[in-house]
A and B are shown apart, each in its own frame.
Chain A
Amino acid sequence: MDTFLTILLDGLQFSSYLFIVSAGLTIIFGVMKILNVAHGSFYAWGAYTAAFFIGKFSDMGMPDALGFLIIIAAAVVVGVVLGFIIEQGILKYMYQRDEVLIVLATFGLFLVLEDIILIAFGTDPYFAYQPMALLAAVEIGGITRDVYGLTLIGVATLVAIGCWWLLNKTKWGTILKAVIFDREMGISMGINVPLVYTLTFIGGAILGGLGGAYIAPTISVAPGLGTEVIVLSFAVVVVGGMGSIAGAAIGSLIIGLLRAVAVHELPQVELFVVFAVMAVVLVFRPEGLFAPAKPRKI
């Protein structure tokens, strides 16, 4: 029973941060048709920025609770600054080019951003345990869990609800859906598509940064952080169906829980199982496991 609960909570926590990151990736793909390799860098930038300032503020004797504010601020600043620069400076000029070529361009960006991290933050790892220490631990069903990890599940749920609300209950959501469905028709209806693109990219980048910033207190923030996360989020969006928020949620639950089971029961297959699932889904349902049937455009 204890093992089961541990696996379940580990899995949910892992799914949660995967979902936050992948939601950003999938929104960008859904609206702009860009598979953004540099998304891994947003994650890494979020983690580094948060860890750096949490450490700094703690050294200055500020209350540790400020950490949570820093996490959110780090995500927003990273998303807005990087997202804006990259979309306006580079991607804007690539929309007419081949989809695959844009993937390659974002790979180039990924390399650039990885090194700017090294230059800005150095190669030594950062530890920003303060917010985690602040919330201490709690006992659930006989096992001890740190509360910080549990709040991650709450944050992911909030992100999911927020995305759903934005897409289905606001004017912005309607505009987004119009652009996703038919970009040209959207333009002719008077939608400012370039603005929608910029905002979407920034929004996706903020989510990528949030994933990194929120996970930062639980890990040692070290170089190479973004490299692993980006392929994992690729696996998530592929399993759930690229461009769908619900898909990202289902994908991250499947990948997260599977990985937790693997880590506890058979650690050798931890990575294998994730990508095997990704490959199998691509082979049998390339559009994703739960992708809705699409109306055909003539």
Chain B
Amino acid sequence: MKLLVNFSRGKGRKPIIAQVVRDTGVLINVERAVIDSSEGEALIDVPDDQCKLVRDTMISLGAKVHILEHGVSLDESECVDCGACISICPREVFSFDPDWKLSLDEKRCVLCGKCVDACPSHALILPV
């Protein structure tokens, strides 16, 4: 399960992710993180059965946590199956099926948005 974690780094600059790993013992996979002097956003992947525990612990440490049910989605009425997204994606979300139709493995998506810009047909949409 993927979680989007937002935290402010105002006071004390708590190492939230490290602390959650220590307190819960859950091994967190950080897929993507943007952290500057005042705030941070991290996309983390945790085992489904421990998702609630991680979320609650993070919230208790002052972070905002959203469970991400969906990755990037494809508007099939706009897609022309060119495949421009395939080589752009760092996580191999996209591939061709045997009929050269674009297929998408949503679970692999880390919502980086690179494909959205690269799609000539505006057929890829990130969840809000």
Whether A and B are associated in the same complex: the answer reads no
Chain B interface (Cβ within 8 Å of chain A)? none
Chain A interface (Cβ within 8 Å of chain B)? none
